[in-house]
């Protein structure tokens, strides 16, 4: 077990990548606090992890609200005694022509995908600074933090901000024994991507053709890196971005 005796808080744990990370962390021996806005899904997942022999609890929160994130960190520490791993995963997608993107959609994307990650880093960082063992923060960015895509000004800008925020905080908090890294996935088959496929915003054939490995990613493709970065095996790794996109970002052809 690579995360034995560690305590992790995962935002956006009700679905998709966050849910996959929570289940895998629990199997690797971590105690997990599941966080999102949907009580029913978190309750179900918490019970499933417990029935599989893991340790889990959940809290309802909105990453757009700094006091909600602080409360989630406080609850994790009150319930499980410490916070070793913070995964800032909660996010929304936004694909819309930039010339008509509403202020509301711009603000919602920024507040969720960028500001929410900062509030998560800040609250987790403050707690980790009080712990002799420090801690580790993993931010879920995107290949679209470094690759530009049309109609995604808000999304790409927010994820580029997450990449830089991660580097800045890794530099600022390195001597406090806090490691920060990003995971930057390409297209992963989750509800978020399925919704875009259903709306016709994404075409699976075109995505597969554009990806050197010829397929979309699965949630399972993200989990190895999420475990590795959180584990003691990554003890000298901070300020990095690990991309898992089937070669999309490397591909300058088609």
Ligand X SMILES: NC(=O)c1ccc[n+]([C@@H]2O[C@H](COP(=O)([O-])OP(=O)(O)OC[C@H]3O[C@@H](n4cnc5c(N)ncnc54)[C@H](OP(=O)(O)O)[C@@H]3O)[C@@H](O)[C@H]2O)c1
Q: Catalytic residue positions?
A: 155
Stretch that binds ligand X, among 58-66, 167-175, 203-211, 246-254 (CB under 6 A): 58-66
Rounded (10°) angle between helices 116-128 and 66-80: 40
Query: Could you tell me the smallest distance in angstroms from the CB atom of residue 5 to ligand X?
Result: 26
Strands 178-185 and 55-60: unpaired
Q: Take residue 35 and report the two structure tokens written for it.
A: 């966080």
* Candidate list 43, 44, 57, 62; residue touching ligand X; CB under 6 A: 62
Instruction: Give the integer Cα–Cα distance in Å for 129 and 134.
Output: 6
Contact call for residue 225 and ligand X (CB under 6 A)? no
Contact call for residue 36 and ligand X (CB under 6 A)? yes
* Candidate list 25, 80, 115, 187; residue touching ligand X; CB under 6 A: 187
User: Looking at beta carbons only, is 30 or 59 nearer to ligand X?
Assistant: 59
What residues contact 66, with CB distance under 8 A and at least 6 apart?
A: 119, 122, 123
User: Nearest CA to 56 among 37, 84, 79, 86?
Assistant: 79
* Candidate list 1, 5, 38, 224; residue touching ligand X; CB under 6 A: 38
Total Cβ atoms within 10 A of residue 85:
26
Question: 205: burial class by Cβ within 10 Å (0-12, 13-18, 19+)?
Answer: exposed
Each residue 96-135 as x (binds ligand X by CB under 6 A) or -, in order, gives ----------------x-----------------------
Contact call for residue 139 and ligand X (CB under 6 A)? no
Instruction: Give the integer Cα–Cα distance in Å for 187 and 20.
Output: 15
* Candidate list 22, 26, 56, 63; residue touching ligand X; CB under 6 A: 63
Contact call for residue 64 and ligand X (CB under 6 A)? yes
Contact call for residue 153 and ligand X (CB under 6 A)? no
User: Looking at beta carbons only, is 81 or 224 nearer to ligand X?
Assistant: 224
Instruction: Give the integer Cα–Cα distance in Å for 246 and 196.
Output: 19
Binding site for ligand X (CB under 6 A): 11-12, 14-18, 36-38, 41, 61-64, 89-92, 112, 140, 142, 185, 187-188, 190-193
């Amino acid at each position: 077990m690579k995360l034995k005796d560690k305590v992790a808080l995962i935002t956006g744990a009700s679905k998709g990548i966050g849910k996959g990370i929570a289940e895998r962390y629990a199997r690797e021996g971590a105690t997990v606090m599941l966080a999102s806005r949907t009580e029913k899904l978190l309750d179900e997942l918490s019970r499933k992890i417990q029935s599989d022999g893991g340790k889990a609890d959940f809290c309802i929160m909105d990453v757009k609200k700094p006091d909600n994130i602080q409360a989630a960190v406080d609850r994790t520490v009150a319930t499980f005694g410490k916070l070793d791993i913070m995964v800032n995963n909660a996010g929304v997608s936004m694909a819309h022509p930039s010339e008509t993107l509403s202020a509301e959609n711009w603000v919602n994307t920024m507040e969720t995908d960028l500001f929410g990650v900062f509030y998560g880093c800040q609250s987790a960082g403050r707690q980790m600074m009080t712990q002799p063992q420090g801690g580790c923060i993993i931010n879920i960015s995107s290949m679209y933090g470094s690759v530009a895509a049309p109609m995604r000004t808000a999304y790409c800008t927010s994820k580029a901000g997450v990449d830089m925020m991660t580097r800045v905080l890794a530099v600022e908090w390195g001597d406090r024994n806090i490691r920060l890294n990003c995971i930057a996935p390409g297209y992963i088959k989750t509800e978020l991507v399925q919704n875009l496929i259903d709306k016709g915003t994404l075409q699976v054939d075109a995505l597969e053709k554009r990806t050197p490995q010829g397929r979309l990613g699965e949630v399972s493709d993200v989990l190895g890196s999420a475990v590795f970065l959180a584990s003691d095996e990554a003890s000298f790794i901070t300020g990095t971005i690990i991309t898992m996109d089937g070669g999309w970002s490397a591909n300058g052809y088609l």
